[in-house]
Amino acid sequence: MASKVVQFGPLTIPLSQVFLLSKHTYGLVNLKPIRPGHVLVVSRRKVARFNDLTLEEVTDLFTNGQRISKAVEKLFNADGLTLCVQDGDVAGQTVKHVHLHVIPRNTGDFANNDDIYSVLEGTGNVPQQTHVDNDQRVARTATDMAAEAKMLRRQVGGWDDAVGQFIRYKLTDQSDMQQIDTQVGTVSPHRHHLVVCNSSPEKWPSRIEGMSETVTALARGSIRLPGRAMVTMSDFAPLNSNVCGCASQNTKDDKFQLIDVAVFPLGLVAKQLDVAGVNKLLEWLSYDILPTSWTPTHANLPQPEFDHSWLELTQNRHIFVCTHGSRDYLCGLHGGKLLNDLRSLIEQRNLQKHIGAWATSHIGGHKYAANAIVYPRGDWYGTWCDKCNTSTEPERRDDAQAIMDAVVHDVTWWDAWRGATNMSKQDQIAMWTRSADHADNAGHAESDEFSWVPATRQRSAFK
């Protein structure tokens, strides 16, 4: 999943296991933790002894050690912490690279409190109540370590630092300057997303292109458009049900011979199109510059010659989650859970008038499932639930929470960002590289209590 960007002694550590990275320090989850939440704070410069560090490096190590210890104590419900540096062989140091241990502690976790130091040296036994395997600290899986790093990243706020500082200081070799997260740049370039409204996810076949003559005409014509377009089915209906024909379901007899098509990110809804109407829509979409929902009557732009309405996108947001189980099991399983969590959060926050969460058919990248797209920004997110099949409901809710925070605060959740509509692969990678080190992350947004006044979005996000 991630490139190898940091060294811990002789070991090369994937970025998926790093949750904080500063100019001189990185935070690393532990392969063989003594206690749940046992992490390491490591000097970026590879030196064996504490006295080999410069004053600036020492300051950075312990400043970030304090930052990390606060997060660990909170996340793992610790009563206290053991902080220690094993400096040299006689002190029990096994990896010849300066690092600080941060170990959560609870009352009674060791029969003799000082036994923790013999365990650190590898000469003592891990007590059974620590819930860490007692076979001399058995190594964890890469999946477990990545999941813990992801959780810490959100709490510490270190993922943006990791990306930004890596790029800014370039303390690793150029040979390691690979694409840091392989999900970035995986959105197939497309200019528009054409959403066929009011279809039930349970009735989607594996391939939606043949659902009707009209849908087939739309799907075939979309790939010939300048910049291409993506066509999906959805249960989408406008937040204001009086806006367009999306509010009325297709009957069994229709079988999608007449379709309503929402065009994102433009915000147009074409009503009750037959094959001839689809051709008119495609012809209109072939123009280089088009009006949008925030400039619907621009005199110098080509106007649609078919029945249509405009969505309100200056105040409203739409989240599309792939739940296409007949196409891919993971999308159906994880997408459905994410969609339900998002809808629950929208209801809890009483945002039904401004935010809608909708099911959509296949959008690509099932291995990143659950996948979500947010409009009008056009950001794509892959939450990687297929990598954490043992994840608990709170962790799934964290993904929904992060997406909701990004939507509410009109920011990008860079930790799960795959790319965006109307961007090439190179542009997606370049945008992530430029933005992830300084933009507000959804994980930093206050989400417990807030009042949201929807504002007109900035067009620059689509440039």
Positions marked catalytic: 99
- Half-sphere exposure of residue 10: CA atoms within 13 angstroms, side-chain side: 3
* Residue 411 DSSP class: -
Distance spanning both ends of the chain, measured CA to CA: 28
Q: How far apart are CA 289 and CA 425, in angstroms?
A: 22
- How far CA 157 is from CA of 82, 99, 402, 436, 437, in Å, comes to 22, 20, 13, 12, 11
Chain Cα centroid distance, residue 159: 12
Residues in the chain: 463
- Residue 110 dihedral angles phi and psi, to the nearest 5°: -130, 135
| Kind plus residue range of the DSSP H or E element containing 186 | none
Are residues 250 and 212 in contact, defined by beta-carbon separation less than 8 angstroms? Answer: no
Extract the tokens encoding 90: 């006689």
SS3 content of the chain, % helix, strand, coil (to 5): 35, 20, 45
CB of 420 within 8 A of CB of 379? yes
Task: Say how far apart CA 167 and CA 144 lie, in whole Å.
Answer: 27
Token output for 239: 């937040």
Q: 34, 39, 68, 30: which is closest to 144 by C-alpha?
A: 30
The sign of the dihedral angle between the CA atoms of 442, 181, 390, 335 is: positive
Q: Output the DSSP codes for 139-173.
A: PPPHHHHHHHHHHHHHHHTHHHHHHHHHHHH--S-
Q: Name the amino acid, one letter, at 383.
A: T
List the Cα angle 271/275/278 in 5-degree steps: 50
* E-assigned strand segments in 213-331: 229-233, 259-264, 268-273, 308-310, 317-322
d(CA 305, CA 253): 27
Radius of gyration for the chain, computed over Cα atoms and rounded to the nearest angstrom: 25
Pairwise CA distance, residues 335 & 154, whole Å: 21
